[in-house]
Amino acid sequence: MSLPADIKKLENELDAAESHARSLIAGLTEAHACWRAQPGSWCVAQCLNHLGITNRAYLAAMEGPAVRARQQGRLRRREAIPGWIGGFFVRMIEPPVKARIKAPQTIVPSAEQNLADAFGCFLAEQEKVRAFLHAHNDLDLASVRFPNPFMHGVRFSLATGLHIIVAHERRHLWQAWRARTAAEAAGE
């Protein structure tokens, strides 16, 4: 089954993030993967783990509304793109990071990470996002709303949620590359 072009674009962005993550960890030692420039900064492994647990939280919030939309017959009428406010939020989290956003405690990765587990978490959740795309590509993702799991009282469209996921991945892969480069430069 061929996907609509806008959904295929999201899937391609997931593929690109996975490819960047694989390049990120290629040849990376465990010491470099867990090195932090300063207390409170995140290492490569923490960035990958954070992406996995954040994607899990977003998908958990999005799944129920998607199922209800299917039951209500809310099929695709337009492209899965964010509205004005959702688009603003997506642009705000894109790298290079201009404004730091403090992660809610529920998705702050543990300081004790290992690369294999963190990367495994990231990959597992990537597959779940892909499965969501394939299972729900025929819904009107731009009109179905879900409660943002991190901002009480804020609701986004499923389309916005999917765009946030891929932008958030770019943000933290950018951060992870910076952490890797700093670790290697420090000779740790």
Give the tens place of pLDDT for each residue, 80-90.
999 999 999 99
**How high is the pLDDT of residue 175?**
96
Statement: residue 136 has pLDDT above 60: yes
Query: Which of 105-113's residues contact partners 24+ apart within 8 Å by CB, and which partners?
Result: 106/57, 106/150, 107/50, 107/53, 107/54, 107/57, 107/150, 108/50, 109/42, 109/45, 109/46, 109/47, 109/49, 109/50, 109/53, 110/46, 110/49, 111/46, 113/33, 113/34, 113/43, 113/45, 113/46, 113/49
Which tokens belong to 134?
Answer: 């394939």
Give the tens place of pLDDT for each residue, 42-100.
999 999 999 999 999 999 999 999 999 999 999 999 999 999 999 999 999 999 877 77
Give the residue extent of every domain in the chain.
5-183
113: left (phi over 0), alpha (psi -120 to 50) or beta: beta
Phi, psi of 138, rounded to the nearest 5 degrees: -90, 0
Cα of 50 vs its chain's centroid, Å: 9
In the predicted model, what is the mean pLDDT of residues 125-147?
98
**How high is the pLDDT of residue 131?**
98
Statement: residue 188 has pLDDT above 60: no
**How high is the pLDDT of residue 2?**
87
**How high is the pLDDT of residue 1?**
66
Give the tens place of pLDDT for each residue, 6-22.
999 999 999 999 999 99
**How high is the pLDDT of residue 181?**
96
CATH code: domain 5-183 is: 1.20.120.450
| pTM for this model (two decimals) | 0.95
